[in-house]
Amino acid sequence: MTVLRVLTTPDQTLRTKSRNLSVAEINSEEVKTLINDIYETLRAGEYGVGMSAIQVGQPLAVTVVMIHPTPNRPELTNFNKVYLNPKIIETFGEKEPMWEGCCSVLDENANPVYAKVPRYTKIRVEYHDKAGKKHRNLADGFLAHVLQHEIDHNNGILFTDLVDVRNIISQEEYRKLNKIITH
């Protein structure tokens, strides 16, 4: 497995709409390798909980979610899943804001920036698994938030597109605000 280079703004590749994969492509060695490399890239990062293939320069609708406890969200439980060709087919309730950052959106010092992004608290998502089988599942809470962020990546949308730029804060401000202690 390889740690891949993560694209960052202003790289216009991040604005590319990812294409869906055929079942044959899903079962290919190339896509399996890409999935493993995205997992490895996420493991190498500090706090990332999801990544889409477009973030590593591949305009394919491949999303890996790897949720784990973080300093700001210690209550999270481990969750690992691959979503191929994911799309939101239904939303529920009102949108609620939650803090987001992204390893593809950095400030001038190469540190992540953060903002509270309003997203639905519950969604129904349709996707293929690693074997090419189609699923429809409900996702709520933090997982729903992460999936919306990653599916946005597949559509060339960054979280900063969804908020007033005046509400974007630095990593230092985010850590102070959320009382995150770093060593």
Yes or no: say if 53 and 62 are a contact pair by the CB < 8 Å rule: yes
Is the entire prediction scored with pTM above 0.85?
A: yes
Yes or no: say if 143 and 67 are a contact pair by the CB < 8 Å rule: yes
Work out the pLDDT band at 13, boundaries 50, 70, 90.
very high
Provide the pLDDT for residue 80.
95
Provide the pLDDT for residue 48.
84
Coil/strand/helix, residue 73: coil
Q: Cα–Cα distances in Å, from 97 out to 54, 161, 163, 180?
A: 25, 14, 10, 19
The per-residue pLDDT for range 23-46, each reduced to its tens digit, is 999 999 999 999 999 999 999 986
**Checking DSSP bridges between strand 169-170 and strand 134-140, what pairing results, if any?**
unpaired
The per-residue pLDDT for range 92-151, each reduced to its tens digit, is 999 999 999 999 999 999 999 999 999 999 999 999 999 999 999 999 999 999 999 999
Q: Which residues have a Cβ under 8 Å from the Cβ of 106 and sit 6 or more positions away?
A: 8, 9, 112, 113
Instruction: Pick 12-177's CATH classification: 3.40.50.2300, 1.25.60.10, 1.10.3720.10, 3.90.45.10.
Output: 3.90.45.10
Which of 75, 150, 172, 173 does the annotation list as catalytic? 150
Asked about 150 being catalytic, the answer comes back as yes
Our CA dihedral for 178, 96, 50, 48, rounded to 10 degrees, sits at -10
Of the ranges 14-23, 40-49, 84-93, 113-122, which one carries the lowest mean pLDDT score? 40-49
Provide the pLDDT for residue 177.
87
Q: Is the pLDDT of residue 178 over 60?
A: yes
Q: Which helix (H) or strand (E) holds 117?
A: strand 113-128
The per-residue pLDDT for range 70-80, each reduced to its tens digit, is 777 788 899 99
Which amino acid is present at 124? R
